[in-house]
């Protein structure tokens, strides 16, 4: 009869009658194992490993205790549990968020370009010369001009301009020399 003692996840058992056994193993951090067959250290024992949710097993999921070159040893290195790599494909929420961000960015870019184009068209239309009826007529300058005396309204010659401070000139009749 064999006696098993479980001390802090370490499986110990007395050596097999042949005197050969594999060294006991600890479970991987963030994972565990169970004895699938044998005693857990005896020749022919099989240990099956697994990891907690969110971690993946790196290495062999099963190891076997066997004899090689006259020594008992495990068939493989002990596996470890590592954090699962972040997969964009499996995370639907993140995919939706990234897609929404990209679409929003494209909309903002399109609106900004439209605004810029409108502003440039407005600015260029302000300074564009007016088309005259004849193609031979000289083009207007882009800088606004100062009104000339021809553009001002004419005043009657008898009346002084309103608001002037000069005294009126005497009336020159026929006898004035």
Residue 43 in contact with residue 66, Cβ under 8 Å?
A: yes
Q: In the chain, count of helices (H) and strands (E)? A: 1, 8
Q: How many residues does this entry show for the chain?
A: 177
Burial 65-84 (b: 16+ CB within 10 A, else e): beeeeeebebeeeebbbbee
Q: Do the Cβ atoms of 79 and 49 come closer than 8 Å?
A: yes
Model pTM? Answer: 0.42
* Element housing 122 (H / E): helix 92-126
- Give the DSSP letter of residue 75: S
Minimum mean pLDDT among 6-10, 31-35, 69-73, 103-107: which range? Answer: 6-10
State pLDDT tens for residues 19-64: 789 999 999 999 999 999 999 999 999 999 999 998 999 999 999 9
Contact partners, residue 56, CB within 8 Å, separation at least 6: 81, 82, 83, 84
Burial of 169 (0-12, 13-18, 19+ CB in 10 A): exposed
Write out pLDDT tens, residues 111-157. Answer: 999 999 999 988 888 776 655 555 555 555 555 555 666 666 666 66
**Does domain 5-83 bear CATH number 3.40.50.10890?**
no
The whole-number pLDDT of residue 107 equals: 96
Parse the chain into domains and list their residue ranges.
5-83, 86-126
Q: How far is CA 29 from CA 49, 134, 138, in A?
A: 11, 92, 90
């Amino acid at each position: 009869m064999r006696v098993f003692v479980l001390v802090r996840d370490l499986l110990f058992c007395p050596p097999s009658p042949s005197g050969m056994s594999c060294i006991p193993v600890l479970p991987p951090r963030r994972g565990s194992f169970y004895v699938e067959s044998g005693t857990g250290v005896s020749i022919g024992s099989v240990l099956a490993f697994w990891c907690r949710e969110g971690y993946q097993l790196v290495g062999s999921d099963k190891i076997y205790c066997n004899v090689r070159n006259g020594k008992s040893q495990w068939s493989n290195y002990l596996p470890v549990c590592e954090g699962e790599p972040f997969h964009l494909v499996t995370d639907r929420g993140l995919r939706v968020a990234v897609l929404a961000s990209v679409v929003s960015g494209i909309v903002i870019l399109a609106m900004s370009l439209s605004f810029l184009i409108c502003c440039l068209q407005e600015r260029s239309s302000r300074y564009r010369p007016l088309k005259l009826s004849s193609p031979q007529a000289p083009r207007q300058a882009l800088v606004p001009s100062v009104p000339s005396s021809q553009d001002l309204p004419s005043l009657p010659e008898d009346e002084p301009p309103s608001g002037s401070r000069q005294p009126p000139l005497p009336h020159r009749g026929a006898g004035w020399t």
